[in-house]
Structure 1
């Protein structure tokens, strides 16, 4: 009997985990913003992410300007972008120099031009600016990429995807310029 009960509880845990959706609601601005997810009022502090968990399926998001969006949430993690800010999705290579050329060859097949904050880039970039975005990245806005990662056995390198917010991108460009100036 105990064995059956344990299996039943395990089944309930597995089934219930598969039916939830996590929303990462991002606010890259300097002021707090508010929105509603169904009837839940959520305040997102400036430069913060607030997480909301809900069931999969149809939900209603009411923005600060009272516009209403209905959406069928069928994946496990989404980022909600209530400010409709632009984000830049980038890739970071982790591996030895010996395999970097292999990575570049495969990356060249996905290369394209994008415009972000009025600047044109060519490479493995995507611009994310929709209100509701399925999370396809490893590190979100204001999350720091690791210095070192463990590469799976049998793999020669790994690539992590990072979503840069507008201020994060500007800070990165300024730091790069300062480093280049210091070298000269």
Structure 2
């Protein structure tokens, strides 16, 4: 009897955790509104904004303003749709005491990337695809925290931030002017 109850509880937990929904964020870092069709539904994304929605997992069709049609099998939990073909910079941000920063940086894979015409070396990645699985913690135009609580069993942690070009330019300007 105990095994049957335990099996029932595990089955319910498993079914709840297996969502059939995919979270989409249609991002528009540009100065103009953008229209995107997902299957037969039209979405208008205002300038410098994001439209969030949920769709069922599986194959869907995106139609962009230039009439490009993209069919994609959405199988992961979350995606960012980039209908403007803009570049985004993914950056790993360190949180923790200075004494552990060398340990953190020694585990990173530094590479050279070019973003908005600037060549940088570090643990960066540039994305510009129309459909991007969300692998970051904070998206474009979402503020990354100055401080976070680190789990007791860890010395440090990191968060990944996706920057759009304007947001990154503002970060560079504020860093050079001493605001950060």
The answer to whether TM tops 0.5 is yes
> Which residue matches 2:132?
133
> Which residue matches 1:14?
16
Following superposition of structure 1 onto structure 2, how do residues 1-184 of structure 1 map, counting pairs within 5 Å? 14=16, 18-107=19-108, 110-179=109-178
Aligned length: 172
The two structures, once aligned, show a CA RMSD in angstroms of 1.9
Encode CA deviations 1:94-123: one digit per residue, 9 max, x unaligned.
00111111111112xx11111111111111
**Alpha-carbon distance in structure 1 between the residues aligned to 2:100 and 2:77:** 33
**Alpha-carbon distance in structure 2 between the residues aligned to 1:11 and 1:116:** 43
Deviation at 1:12, TM superposition (A): 9.4
Task: Write out the 4+ residue segments of structure 1 that deviate beyond 4 Å after TM superposition.
Answer: 10-13
Query: Which runs of 5 or more structure 1 residues have no equivalent in the other structure?
Result: none
**Alpha-carbon distance in structure 2 between the residues aligned to 1:11 and 1:100:** 38
DSSP-derived class of the 2:177 partner: helix
DSSP-derived class of the 2:107 partner: helix
**Alpha-carbon distance in structure 2 between the residues aligned to 1:12 and 1:144:** 33
**Alpha-carbon distance in structure 2 between the residues aligned to 1:105 and 1:72:** 37
Summarize the Cα distance change of 1:93–1:11 in structure 2 as closer, same or farther, 3 Å threshold. Answer: closer
Q: TM-score, normalised by structure 1?
A: 0.87
Deviation at 1:11, TM superposition (A): 6.3
**Alpha-carbon distance in structure 1 between the residues aligned to 2:14 and 2:129:** 34
Query: Which runs of 5 or more structure 2 residues have no equivalent in the other structure?
Result: none
**Alpha-carbon distance in structure 2 between the residues aligned to 1:118 and 1:171:** 15
